[in-house]
Amino acid sequence: MCIRDRVKSAQPDEVAMMLETAQRVVIVPGFGMAMAQAQHAVRELANALEKNGTEVEYGIHPVAGRMPGHMNVLLAEANVSYDLLAEPDDVNPAMDSVDVAIVIGANDVVNPSATEEEGSPIYGMPIIEVHNAKTVFVLKRSMSSGFAGVQNPLFFRENTRMLFGDAKESIGLVVSEFKD
């Protein structure tokens, strides 16, 4: 059995349907957002959610992307208010009250192995604990590991669904479905 067959995948209409009823959403951008240049699509999604009455926050890991502050710069380019950006220490304590966490191409910075598997090469690294959210949607092109080369058990969790494809395209499809 292929590793991709062991995960639960989602389609854009399913993601939009879950987002419709969400009260609180945390968006966690990573290198995949940068590669797809999806920051404007992410902001469009956040605008649609906010218009629907959803509280939207961005979980920003200091080392997400290829350099410290990479996500901050990209989101600033898309006119995302700096006030909506939260670091792990700020967003993690309330993650269990998050209805939907949307992970966009981040991998190592949301990998629960860092807190749960003592033998893991990333054990002890601070992460954004999206696995504690009620539902997690992970947008990725493939099941490949992140920069650290460590498989991410988040992808196989009961509360996680994978939306495969280019982040900009996938978010655009979710926004279209959400607006319909």
Enzyme catalytic residues: 108
Report the distance separating Cα 73 and Cα 96, nearest Å. Answer: 28
Cα-based distances in Å from 101 to 5, 117, 118, 123, 151: 22, 22, 25, 22, 19
- Whether the Cβ atoms of residue 58 and residue 64 lie closer than 8 Å to each other: no
- Pairing, β 100-104 against β 135-140: parallel
Report the distance separating Cα 113 and Cα 25, nearest Å. Answer: 23
| Alpha-helix runs per DSSP H in 52-137 | 70-77, 88-91, 113-116
Report the distance separating Cα 17 and Cα 14, nearest Å. Answer: 5
- Pairing, β 24-29 against β 55-59: parallel
- Whether the Cβ atoms of residue 30 and residue 109 lie closer than 8 Å to each other: yes
